[in-house]
Amino acid sequence: MRPLGIAVATGLVCVGALLSLGAPFLGVPLAAGASAWLWYRRMPGPALLAVIAAGLLTLQVDPAGPLYVVPWLVLAGPVTALLVKKRSVMSVVVLIAVFNTVVWVALLAGVASAQQMSVQGYMRSLSEQAIQQAMDQASSAGQDSTVLADQAQLMEETFTRLWPAMIALLAALTALLSVGAVRLVATRAGADVVPSRPLEEFDLDPKVVWGLIVAVAFIAVDKFSGGWNGQVLGTVGQNLLQVTRWVMFAQGLAVFAGLYKRAGFSRLSKAFGYTLLVFTELLLPLVSLTGLVDIWVNLRKLPRDGHGSSGSIVGTEEQDHPHGMDPR
């Protein structure tokens, strides 16, 4: 391999590591793709060294940077490069998302403990600081302070209650983009990976509906008990509801993908349609509700064995694996 190629790949890993400090959904996939490029060219040593060196580089910006950036990059890059050769896309995405979430929460717990605060109290303080800065800027622009105060209080309460779901969803987005980047590099390198099925065939196991049922039950019990134990059940229920909603969104997106395919949409039209669906879901949960209906009614008439298409949360990709092998 040319030294120039190694230098460029290492540089991209370093750039991705620095971006990961503020925008992990951009930085981690960039670093993962670059390190996978080295890995698939039979240079596992340089790939690992690039990831570790890039993680240590974040020490110049954030003293705690290496503690979470290095694990993120190792799993999203070299480890994922191995996993995609044996496991389905979504199973790898779920694995990385869970790992990233655990690392993130552990970091927050450590920082909060160092400041002798609870994690909830620490997140509230971060929210107050960010909102106060935004209010100061808005006030200087001549906006009504009364309206700003009401909006700030609502934002602070929402963030303080839903930060676990926000972290989990951000970790999932980061994992999805990282696996996509690694698979793209693997395809270009001619590596043998577990084949993935198109989006229109994605199908969740009906058991995921239990997440929705438990979330609604927790919220209901919390409400009718008058906020039992400091509204803990209600907070857990709201976070679980948000995560489940976006899992259902993936199912709904698959339904629309099937409609786009039958309508013969071009790639550009599909991209525009998917973007519109995301913005629609941010306003009203119409796409996720479509996914919920599809789980029960099977709008796409997909073949099911009574346990969901694959018997797992990760959809249909693990069925009909080449040579009859189960990638799990």
Q: Are residues 252 and 177 in the same domain?
A: no
Q: Are residues 244 and 175 in the same domain?
A: no
Residue 210 domain flag: yes
Q: Do residues 205 and 318 make contact, with C-beta atoms less than 8 angstroms apart?
A: no
DSSP state of 301: -
Q: Are residues 99 and 175 in the same domain?
A: yes
Rounded distance between C-alpha atoms, residue 229 and residue 208, angstroms = 27
Q: Are residues 189 and 250 in the same domain?
A: no
Residue 139 domain flag: no
Rounded distance between C-alpha atoms, residue 49 and residue 61, angstroms = 20
Q: Are residues 186 and 214 in the same domain?
A: no
The token pair that represents 293 in the structure block: 């209906």
Q: Are residues 253 and 309 in the same domain?
A: yes
At residue 187's C-alpha, the angle toward residues 182 and 192, to 5°, is: 95
Kindly give, in sequence order, each residue whose CB lies less than 8 Å from that of residue 163, ignoring residues fewer than 6 positions away.
Answer: 123
Residue that terminates a domain, selected from 160, 194, 228: 194
Q: Are residues 92 and 107 in the same domain?
A: yes
Q: Are residues 93 and 211 in the same domain?
A: no
Q: Are residues 286 and 259 in the same domain?
A: yes
pLDDT tens-digit map of 157-179: 888 889 999 999 999 999 999 99
Structural domain count, the chain: 2
Q: Are residues 185 and 257 in the same domain?
A: no
The number of beta carbons lying within 10 Å of the beta carbon of residue 184 is 14
Residue 128 domain flag: no
Q: Are residues 299 and 310 in the same domain?
A: yes
Q: Which domain holds residue 267?
A: 197-318
At residue 240's C-alpha, the angle toward residues 80 and 167, to 5°, is: 50
Residue 53 domain flag: yes
What are the percentages of helix, strand and coil residues in the chain, rounded to 5? 80, 0, 20
Q: Which residue has the tokens 């039209």?
A: 269
Residue 8 domain flag: yes
Residue 150 domain flag: no
Residue 38 domain flag: yes
Q: What amino acid occupies position 224?
A: F
Surface-to-core class of residue 223, CB atoms within 10 Å of its CB (0-12 exposed, 13-18 middle, 19+ buried): middle
Which segments of the chain have a pLDDT < 50?
Answer: 306-328
Residue 185 domain flag: yes
Count CA atoms within 13 Å of residue 170 on its CB side.
19
pTM of the model: 0.83
The token pair that represents 8 in the structure block: 């460029």
pLDDT tens-digit map of 200-249: 999 998 899 999 999 999 999 988 887 666 688 889 999 999 999 999 99
User: Residue 305 in 3-state DSSP?
Assistant: coil
Q: Are residues 104 and 57 in the same domain?
A: yes
Residue that terminates a domain, selected from 159, 194, 229: 194
